[in-house]
Every structure is written in C-alpha cells, then in structure tokens.
Amino acid sequence: MKKDYFAKKYYLMLLLPAGVLLSYWAERSPYWVETIYSRRVFFAMNQILSRCTGHLPFSLAEMVVLLLGIIAVRVIGIFIVKMVTDKENRLKRVANFLANTLIVISLIYFAFNLVWGFNYYRLPFATIAGLEVEPTSVVELEGLCKSLIDKANRQRTTTAENNEGVMRLRDGRAHVFTSAGEGFSMAASIYPQLGGTYGQAKGVRISEVMSYANITGIYFPFTGEANVNTTIPDYMLPSTTCHELAHQRGFAREDEANYIAYLTCILHPHPDFQYSGTLLAVIYATNALYRHDPERAQLLTTEYGAGLQRDLAHRRLFWQRYEGPLENISREINDSYLKANRQEDGVHSYGRMVDLLLAAYRKQNDGK
C-alpha cells in the first residue's frame, strides 16, 4: 500500500509538463482563451472566490504566504538535520527531497495556470478597447505629456493637502478600498469585460517590507485577493488599488493593468481617484519622453503646477528611503516572473502602458 502511494505521488510531477503544454496552447490561442477561459470560466470562478475571501477583515493571502514560509523553513531545517545525523541514507534523502520539491512546484504551477495564469494569453486590451497601438513620434509623445500635465494640474486643485502641502485623501484610506469598484462600474459601461462583482482590495500588515522590496501591491490568485501596500503615499493609493483590481478581473499583463488603473481612476466620480490616475499616467509618459528626448522632458517640468511639483518631489524622497539590496533582489525576481509569463521585456514592459495612452490620446484627437 505504501509503495503504491509513493508511486502515485510521483505521477504528480507530470502536472509540470502538462501545465507547460497548456500554456503553449494558450499562447497560440488568444481568441479561445479570451472567449472561453477569461470571459466565462475565470469570470464566474473568480467572482465567487474573491467575494468569499472578501468577507474576511484581513488578507488571507498574507496569512497563507507567511504559513507556507514557516512550513518551508521547518521542512528545510528537518532535511538539514537528517542529512547530518543520517549519513548512510544521504543520497536517498536528497533524491526524495528534490522529488518532493518538484511535486510541489508542479502542483503550484498547474494550479496557478488554472485559476489565473491563462489570462496572460488573452486578447490584448488594445484589441478589446478598439485602440490602435502603433509607432509614434516624439512630438506626439510630447503632446500627450502636455495634455496629461494640464489635466493633472487642474485635478490637483480639487484635492486636499496635508501640512507639508502634499496631496492627502479627503475621505481617508479605508474609503479607497470600499469605493474603488465604482471606477470599474463606470468603465464597464464602455468595456463590459471590466464589469463583475468582486471582493474589495485589502491592505497588508507587512507593507513596510513591501516598500523595501519596491512593491506597491500584489494580486494573489489562489485567494482572489487584491493586496495593497498601505505605506505608499495617499496620491498613489487609488491608482495602485485599481491596478490590483484589474489583475483581479483577469488582466494579467502589467502594462494593461496600469492603463486600466488610469482608465478606472479618471472615470471614478471622486476627485482623489481622478488625480491619482492622471498622476500615474504623467509619470509613465514623461519618463518615456525622457528616455527618448531628455531636453524636451526637462522643458515640460516648467509646466508642473506647484501642487504637482510637491507631490512628485515627495514621491522621489519616499522611495529613496527604501533603496537597498532587497529592492534589487525583488526587481530581479519580478523581472524573471514577467519573462516566464511571456512578457519578454521584463520590468520594462511597464513602459508599454504609454502605447495605450498614446492610442487613446490619438483616438480622442481624431474624434474632435
């Protein structure tokens, strides 16, 4: 009986190649992934999952990760002790440890694809939204930046400030989590794929650690929870929350989640969301312009209003406080994760949000 159990256990390793083959098929079948998996299977499954975990007043994902970390440390500790005390069976123990590790990886990878991972291969949001992404000139990019800066300056005047003159959330941080879905409801009237009823985003207790790792939020597919770093400044919280909620709705690509965060924020009825979304767009667009034409980008800084200048200066100082080795390690891990999910530009894929901003900007101007 025991031998049969172990023999069956090792069959679980086959889930790894099975997951790879399914991913290979999904990558080449975006239409089927979009129409069958993302819009039907995932849409129904994740609404139920996220609503169930959403009733919990804490992040279940955070508890799961901490528990798994403790279990992993304990298992590795036991393995090391037995390697030292049981010299005769070292080779057998190493083989068994590696086999069990491969089984765990196979289970996690296969489950990850089933509950969320296939969304990486759905149709691009540009296709869903009817936006034509195409090469553009620096002049057009500069025009986009000017338009966004002008909008951010106007929206900034409608927000509140703290004693340092930095934007603060008028209704507090809890209000962001409870009301972020309103932006998606507005956007769903234009793009139904952004609709649905999901659990709200949650702040996590280890937010300080996340800041040192340069992580503003994490979507955990196994619990359907959008987790947000609560140490980030007020002006970042609404757009970050909407970014993670975009993942919750099945938009896995980082560049698309950024654009959806911008879109749902500017469509949100609350001024704090509108400014946060536009500020996010300003940062990405001006950074893209700086990479291509530093002089033009530098000239645009003269158009920043006083409030916008204070917020951007505060943002630089905020992240400087958390610079260190953990940030670099986190960046490398995130880069590898993105590339493993066919986002070949790695962390640089975040910059492609600008292509969607330009496409929307171009469509808006053509309609005038």
Give dist(CA 58, CA 206) in Å, integer: 12
Q: Where are the domains of the chain?
A: 2-121, 125-366
Tokens read off for 84: 């030292």
- pLDDT recorded at residue 143: 95
Give dist(CA 50, CA 47) in Å, integer: 5
Distance of CA 144 to the CA centre of its chain: 24
Distance of CA 358 to the CA centre of its chain: 21
Please give, one letter per residue, the 3-state secondary structure of 39-93. Answer: HHHHHHHHHHHHHHHHCCCCCHHHHHHHHHHHHHHHHHHHHHHHHHHCHHHHHHH
Give dist(CA 220, CA 248) in Å, integer: 8
Whole-Å CA distances, 273 to 264, 331, 365: 8, 27, 24
- pLDDT recorded at residue 347: 37
Three-class SS of residue 225? strand
The residue among 185, 186, 214, 218 whose CA lies nearest residue 202 is 218
DSSP state of 31: H
The residue among 353, 136, 347 whose CA lies nearest residue 262 is 353
Per-residue model confidence as pLDDT tens for the chain (368 residues):
455 555 567 788 899 999 999 999 999 999 999 999 999 999 999 999 999 999 999 999 999 999 999 999 999 999 999 888 877 888 888 888 998 999 999 999 999 999 999 999 999 999 999 998 888 888 999 999 999 999 999 999 999 999 999 999 999 999 999 999 999 999 999 999 999 999 999 999 999 999 999 999 999 999 999 999 999 999 999 999 999 999 999 999 999 999 999 999 999 999 999 999 999 999 999 999 999 899 999 999 999 999 999 999 999 999 999 987 655 554 555 555 555 555 554 433 335 799 999 999 998 887 55
Each as own residue / partner, the long-range contacts of residues 280-284 (CB below 8 Å, 24 or more positions apart, any chain) are: 280/236, 280/239, 281/148, 281/353, 281/357, 282/145, 282/148, 282/149, 282/152, 282/308, 283/312, 283/315, 284/258, 284/350, 284/351, 284/353, 284/354, 284/357
- Supply the DSSP string of 137-154, one letter for each residue: -HHHHHHHHHHHHHHHHH
Predicted TM-score (pTM) above 0.85:
yes
- pLDDT recorded at residue 87: 77
Tokens read off for 245: 């909620």
The residue among 355, 134, 140, 113 whose CA lies nearest residue 256 is 355
Tokens read off for 81: 């002790």
The residues that bridge with 217 in the sheet, in sequence order, are 228
Task: Indicate the angle between helix axes 271-292 and 254-266, nearest 10 degrees.
Answer: 140
The residue among 23, 250, 219 whose CA lies nearest residue 128 is 250
| Contact (CB, 8 A) for 237 and 169 | yes
| Contact (CB, 8 A) for 282 and 293 | no
Tokens read off for 334: 């995130």
- Supply the DSSP string of 293-317, one letter for each residue: -HHHHHHHGGG--HHHHHHHHHHHH
| Contact (CB, 8 A) for 352 and 284 | no
DSSP state of 229: -
- pLDDT recorded at residue 1: 47
Whole-Å CA distances, 74 to 9, 26, 67, 81, 101: 21, 37, 11, 11, 14
The residues that bridge with 48 in the sheet, in sequence order, are none
**Backbone Cα Rg of the chain:** 23
The residues that bridge with 228 in the sheet, in sequence order, are 203, 217
Residue found by looking up tokens 């403790």 in the block:
70
